[in-house]
């Protein structure tokens, strides 16, 4: 009996293995978790159309950089761009594939959704443990028409190294010198005060269940968990609400043309309506690839995503890259990727 | 077995008066025995080799960090990867404190359960309860983590807001760890207590001992070693537990000598940062792994020493 079960299982797995091997080629990639939902949606649609699948392991930006450097995948993905000199050293190119916003979420009983206003300096002080109560003068001054409770603030942060951490701390170091000196930017930082929760979902759940909590999550998680998103003061001095329009405004003001190696972090961008914490998720590839076909397949997919992926991205609260940036990436970045024979992999 | 190997075939014939066929059989058995011995020896040595390889690779991978950071790695009071400041103290402190809290809570509870199961429990309930304890030991740690973050920490936050303002922290992690290791210690304690011969028990009862006196003076002294073994196993699990602890410990990377405040443990810190780490940070995390390895080793060595002293004292 057992033997028969084993034999059946074995033969089934062999048959299944054979079919998947003969099915279409796949594109392999690894890296950031932040764009994973939209990449997987794109991959589904792309596979329906072309029969080419995407095997993307969402192992984190650091892992993506490591795997592409070790040449175990065709492309890597990272939420934090690599510095131009690091790119050069590793013979890599990078380009932004998708953008998204990071938003501060609060849980204060008696305060309506979207009513609380914060500025960068106050946010930095809260996360450094310098402002500990919601009725602190600094917060009250920004919110003259709100009745703030005498409630302790519980800052919640991402415990693990993450691109979200990088974007949030990058923003705080821009707007608070104090934060820059004492904490600094990075994917893994030592938060002086507060509670560390695991992943976006963990932060959302901790904020949702703790009265007096404040946290920061990818915009999609705030919507999904029905959280209270605070307004933020932007570089122009306006209080803006987090929504696709304000994210797009920030992205529109981004000066990709003059960013060497496309190294650009979209925090604290100029513009009257710009949301101050927006970030792009980057794709990394080698300038000299061993397998030109695999590279071509990956570029075809990203080209398709630039052209057709906008709607799926917007539905998930991401912001598609503007046309002009996509054109520039095709022309200036993809042209640098060459096969073993020295020929350009990407042909328009 | 050694005696059959040390005597030659002719002697065997003299000694046993065996005929040729019996002799061949004896020789064959000797060979099988030897192969068996060598085989099991190889397996035992393979474990040692594996342990050595893990240790060696941790040392090799952690060496750059040790060279770069030196003693500051062990004395630094914060772990700030973004400014390449790696101090292991907060994580070491958190690991030890949570494990100690877990053991302090878990040992009396486990002994209580084990005594009830072996001495007082009605026979019909005994098997059901025993199986349930063993089932608890098999629950994956992430389940405990989820329960900790969804049930225990909101409960603590609501009912003890002054002690647990956020619900999470070192004590919360200790509580979760205690719950996780109770089934381990209980199962082992119960198993060793069952091995006490019924006659010993009955003799003591026959002399007029109460249940408490039987447990205290007859059963415990004869199974002390086994109980310490169970506690060691539980402690080992508590020291290295990762998933459940990461959820509820608070993950604060500064050293704050509190018991209920936010903190981190070595395993939680590695789990959180390793996927995104490279360069010096990666090396420092691997070095931290080595530290956990050494701490576990020292704790187990101390426990074994204690065990030996207890056994020497035993009548």
CATH number of the domain where residue B262 is located: 1.10.3720.10
What is the pLDDT at residue A15?
52
Query: What's the rounded Cα separation, in Å, for the pair B44 and A118?
Result: 63
Domain span at B193: 71-312
- Give burial (CB, 10 Å; 0-12/13-18/19+) of B131: exposed
Confidence check: pLDDT of B315 > 70:
no
**pTM to 2 decimal places:** 0.82
**Which of B85, B167, B252 has the CB atom closest to A196's CB atom?**
B252
Query: Does the residue B92 lie in any domain?
Result: yes
Spell out which residues of chain B touch residue A65, defining contact as CB-CB under 8 Å: 278
Q: Report CB contact under 8 Å: A160, B273.
A: yes
What is the pLDDT at residue A10?
60
**Which of A59, A183, A206 has the CB atom closest to B275's CB atom?**
A59
Are A78 and A281 a contacting pair, CB within 8 Å? yes
Query: Does the residue B115 lie in any domain?
Result: yes
Query: Does the residue B2 lie in any domain?
Result: no
Query: What's the rounded Cα separation, in Å, for the pair A236 and A246?
Result: 13
Do B149 and B38 share a domain, yes or no? no
Query: What's the rounded Cα separation, in Å, for the pair A203 and A157?
Result: 7
Do A248 and A301 share a domain, yes or no? no
pLDDT in tens, A26-63: 999 998 878 888 899 999 999 999 999 999 998 878 78
Q: Report CB contact under 8 Å: B275, A198.
A: no
Are A192 and B80 a contacting pair, CB within 8 Å? no
Query: Does the residue B1 lie in any domain?
Result: no
Domain boundary among A238, A253, A268: A253
Do B58 and B151 share a domain, yes or no? no
Count of structural domains within chain A: 2
Query: Does the residue B223 lie in any domain?
Result: yes
Query: What's the rounded Cα separation, in Å, for the pair B99 and B92?
Result: 11
CATH number of the domain where residue A235 is located: 3.40.190.10
Query: Does the residue B137 lie in any domain?
Result: yes
pLDDT in tens, A286-334: 999 999 999 999 999 999 999 999 999 988 888 899 888 899 999 999 9
**Which DSSP category does A243 fall into?**
S
Do A227 and A296 share a domain, yes or no? no
Maximum Cα–Cα distance across chain B? 86
Do A289 and A322 share a domain, yes or no? yes
Give me the interface pTM, i.e. the ipTM: 0.79
Do A77 and A117 share a domain, yes or no? no
Domain span at A316: 26-100+278-336
Q: Report CB contact under 8 Å: A188, B154.
A: no
Do A67 and A137 share a domain, yes or no? no
Spell out which residues of chain A touch residue B254, defining contact as CB-CB under 8 Å: 190, 192
Chain A interface includes B271 (CB < 8 A):
yes
Do B36 and B143 share a domain, yes or no? no
Query: Does the residue A6 lie in any domain?
Result: no
E strands within chain A? 26-31, 53-57, 75-78, 92-107, 117-118, 154-158, 195-197, 213-218, 228-229, 231-233, 239-240, 278-286, 319-320
Count of structural domains within chain B: 2
Conformational region of residue A58, where left means phi above 0, alpha means psi within -120 to 50, and beta covers everything else: beta
pLDDT in tens, A231-263: 999 999 999 999 988 998 888 888 888 888 888
Rg from Cα positions in chain A: 22
Do A106 and A243 share a domain, yes or no? yes
Domain boundary among A220, A253, A286: A253
Do B247 and B261 share a domain, yes or no? yes
Query: Does the residue A259 lie in any domain?
Result: no
Query: What's the rounded Cα separation, in Å, for the pair A222 and A209?
Result: 14
Alpha helices in A176-255, H assignment, sequence order: 177-182, 199-209, 219-224, 244-252
Query: Does the residue B3 lie in any domain?
Result: no
Query: Does the residue B4 lie in any domain?
Result: no
Query: Does the residue A189 lie in any domain?
Result: yes
Query: Does the residue A81 lie in any domain?
Result: yes
Query: Does the residue A270 lie in any domain?
Result: no
Query: Does the residue A273 lie in any domain?
Result: no
Query: Does the residue A284 lie in any domain?
Result: yes
Best of A62, A180, A211 to disrupt the B interface (most B CBs within 10 Å) is A62
Q: Report CB contact under 8 Å: B81, A61.
A: no
Cβ-Cβ contacts under 8 Å between A and B: the total is: 94
Do A72 and A193 share a domain, yes or no? no
Spell out which residues of chain A touch residue B247, defining contact as CB-CB under 8 Å: 198, 202
Chain A interface includes B89 (CB < 8 A):
no
pLDDT in tens, B151-200: 999 899 889 988 888 889 999 999 999 999 999 999 999 999 999 999 99
Do A137 and A170 share a domain, yes or no? yes
**Which of B80, B166, B276 has the CB atom closest to A161's CB atom?**
B276
Q: Which residue has the tokens 């000598």?
A: B257
Average per-residue pLDDT in chain B?
A: 89
Do B176 and B250 share a domain, yes or no? yes
Q: From the CB of residue A177, how many other CB atoms can be counted at a distance below 10 Å?
A: 11
Do A142 and A168 share a domain, yes or no? yes
Spell out which residues of chain A touch residue B281, defining contact as CB-CB under 8 Å: 188
Query: Does the residue A262 lie in any domain?
Result: no
Do B58 and B87 share a domain, yes or no? no
pLDDT in tens, B114-141: 999 998 999 899 989 989 988 888 899 9
Do B87 and B106 share a domain, yes or no? yes
**Which DSSP category does B295 fall into?**
H
Do B37 and B166 share a domain, yes or no? no
């Amino acid at each position: 009996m057992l033997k028969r079960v084993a034999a059946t299982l074995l033969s089934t797995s062999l048959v299944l293995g054979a079919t998947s091997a003969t099915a279409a080629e796949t594109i392999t990639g690894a890296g950031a978790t932040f764009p994973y939902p939209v990449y997987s949606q794109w991959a589904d649609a792309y596979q329906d159309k072309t029969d080419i699948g995407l095997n993307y392991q969402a192992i984190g930006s650091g892992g993506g950089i490591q795997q592409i450097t070790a040449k175990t995948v065709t492309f890597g993905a990272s939420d934090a761009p690599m510095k131009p000199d690091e790119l050069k050293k590793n013979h890599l190119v990078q380009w932004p594939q998708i953008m998204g916003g990071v938003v501060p979420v609060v849980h204060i009983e008696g305060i309506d959704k979207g009513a609380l206003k914060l500025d960068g300096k106050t946010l930095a002080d809260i996360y450094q443990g310098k402002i500990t109560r919601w009725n602190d003068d600094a917060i009250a001054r920004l919110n003259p028409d709100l009745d703030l409770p005498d409630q302790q603030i519980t800052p919640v942060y991402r415990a693990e190294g993450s691109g979200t951490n990088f974007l949030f701390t990058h923003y705080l170091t821009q707007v608070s010198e104090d934060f820059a000196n004492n904490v600094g930017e990075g994917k893994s930082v030592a938060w002086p005060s507060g509670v560390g929760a695991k992943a976006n979902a963990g932060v959302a759940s901790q904020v949702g269940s703790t009265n007096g909590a404040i946290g920061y999550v990818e915009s999609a998680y705030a919507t999904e968990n029905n959280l209270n998103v605070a307004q933020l003061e932007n570089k122009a001095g306006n209080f803006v609400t987090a929504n696709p329009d304000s994210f797009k405004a920030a992205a529109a003001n981004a000066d990709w043309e003059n960013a060497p190696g496309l190294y650009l972090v979209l925090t604290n961008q100029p513009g009257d309506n710009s949301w101050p914490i927006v970030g792009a998720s980057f794709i990394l590839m080698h300038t000299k690839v061993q397998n030109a076909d695999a590279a071509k397949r990956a570029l075809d997919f990203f080209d398709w995503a630039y052209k057709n992926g906008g709607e799926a991205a917007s539905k998930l609260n991401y912001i598609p890259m503007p046309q002009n940036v996509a054109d520039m990436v095709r022309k200036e970045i993809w042209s640098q990727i060459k096969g073993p024979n020295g020929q350009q992999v990407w042909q328009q | 077995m050694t005696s059959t190997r040390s005597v030659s075939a002719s002697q065997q014939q003299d000694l046993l008066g065996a005929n040729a066929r019996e002799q061949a059989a004896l020789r064959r058995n000797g060979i099988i025995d030897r192969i068996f011995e060598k085989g099991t020896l190889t397996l035992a040595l393979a474990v040692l080799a594996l342990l050595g390889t893990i240790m060696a690779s941790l040392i090799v991978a952690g060496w750059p960090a040790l060279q770069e950071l030196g003693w500051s790695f062990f004395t630094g009071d914060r772990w700030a990867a973004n400014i390449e400041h790696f101090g292991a103290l907060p994580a070491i402190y958190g690991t030890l404190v949570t494990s100690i809290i877990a053991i302090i809570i878990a040992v009396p509870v486990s002994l209580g359960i084990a005594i009830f199961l072996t001495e007082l429990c009605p026979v019909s309930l005994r098997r059901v309860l025993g199986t349930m304890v063993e089932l608890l030991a098999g629950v994956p740690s992430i389940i405990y983590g989820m329960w900790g973050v969804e049930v225990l920490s909101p409960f603590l936050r609501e009912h003890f807001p002054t002690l647990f303002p956020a619900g999470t922290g070192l004590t919360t992690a200790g509580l979760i760890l205690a719950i996780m290791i109770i089934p381990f210690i209980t199962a082992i304690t119960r198993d060793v207590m069952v091995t006490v011969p019924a006659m010993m028990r009955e003799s003591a009862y026959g002399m007029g001992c109460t249940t408490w006196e039987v447990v205290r003076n007859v059963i415990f002294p004869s199974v002390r070693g086994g109980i310490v073994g169970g506690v060691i196993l539980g402690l080992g699990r508590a020291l290295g537990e990762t998933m459940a602890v990461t959820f509820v410990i608070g993950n604060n990377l500064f050293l704050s000598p509190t018991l209920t405040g936010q903190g981190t443990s070595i395993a939680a810190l590695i789990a959180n940062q390793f996927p995104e780490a490279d360069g010096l940070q990666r090396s420092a995390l691997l070095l931290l792994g080595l530290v956990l390895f050494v701490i576990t080793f020292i704790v187990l060595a101390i426990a074994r020493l204690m065990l030996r002293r207890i056994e020497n004292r035993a009548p």
